[in-house]
């Protein structure tokens, strides 16, 4: 007579992933002005997820920024890490009857509350030109945003980020601050 014992399998919530194929992003921005001041700005940004573990992910981002006016030309290259905490609102999953996180999601995202992936992130890296025309400078900041998955492997992303970066402009080095509202797609 044989008896079958129940399996002692253990479920794993999260598996660390190094360089998953998705998500990656590519954004391009153009701005041409003919007055106050006359300028042309081109910005290109590309990134990929380098590490993911549950609701935590670390992205790497390259950003190229070029501004041309009649009196100066500046080109800037930045490379930074972007650690993110996805669904950070879910830490407020209490009290049991009316969880605070569900109320916040309902107020902010309405009928899309179950699809929204709010995130909180940091930005740490470097930029060239930095301390002078040929040496790197540092970059740091933070971001808050939300990603809405639309289909498998495709989502719309909106975020607000603040960056402080060391930059050389006209042979003078100083800290520059940048607020950036981003909207784009992620694959």
Whole-structure pTM over 0.75, yes or no?
Answer: yes
CA–CA separation, 182 and 171 (whole Å): 30
For the chain, what is the mean pLDDT? 84
Between 62 and 73, the higher pLDDT residue: 62
Domains of the chain: 17-186 (2.40.160)
Whether the CB-CB separation of 171 and 140 falls below 8 Å is answered with no
* Contacts of 127 by beta carbon, 8 Å cutoff, 6+ apart: 76, 77, 78, 79, 136, 137, 138, 139, 165, 166, 167
Of 65, 17, 25, 80, the C-alpha closest to 47 is 25
pLDDT band (50, 70, 90) for residue 139? very high
């Amino acid at each position: 007579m044989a008896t079958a014992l129940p399996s002692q399998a253990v479920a794993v919530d999260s598996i660390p992933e190094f360089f998953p194929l998705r998500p990656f992003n590519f954004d391009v921005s153009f701005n041409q002005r003919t007055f106050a001041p006359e300028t042309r700005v081109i910005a290109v940004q590309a990134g990929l997820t380098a590490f993911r573990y549950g609701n935590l992910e670390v992205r790497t981002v390259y950003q190229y920024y070029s501004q041309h006016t009649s009196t100066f030309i500046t080109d800037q290259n930045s490379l930074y890490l972007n650690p993110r905490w996805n669904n950070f609102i879910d830490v407020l999953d209490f009290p049991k009857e009316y969880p605070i996180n569900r109320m916040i999601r309902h107020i902010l995202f309405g009928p899309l509350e179950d699809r929204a992936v709010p995130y909180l992130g940091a930005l740490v890296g470097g930029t060239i030109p930095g301390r002078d025309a040929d040496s790197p400078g540092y970059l740091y900041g933070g971001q808050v945003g939300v990603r809405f998955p639309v289909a498998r492997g495709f989502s719309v992303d909106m975020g607000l980020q603040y960056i402080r970066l060391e930059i050389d402009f006209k042979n003078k080095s100083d800290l520059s601050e940048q607020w950036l509202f981003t909207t784009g797609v992620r694959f």
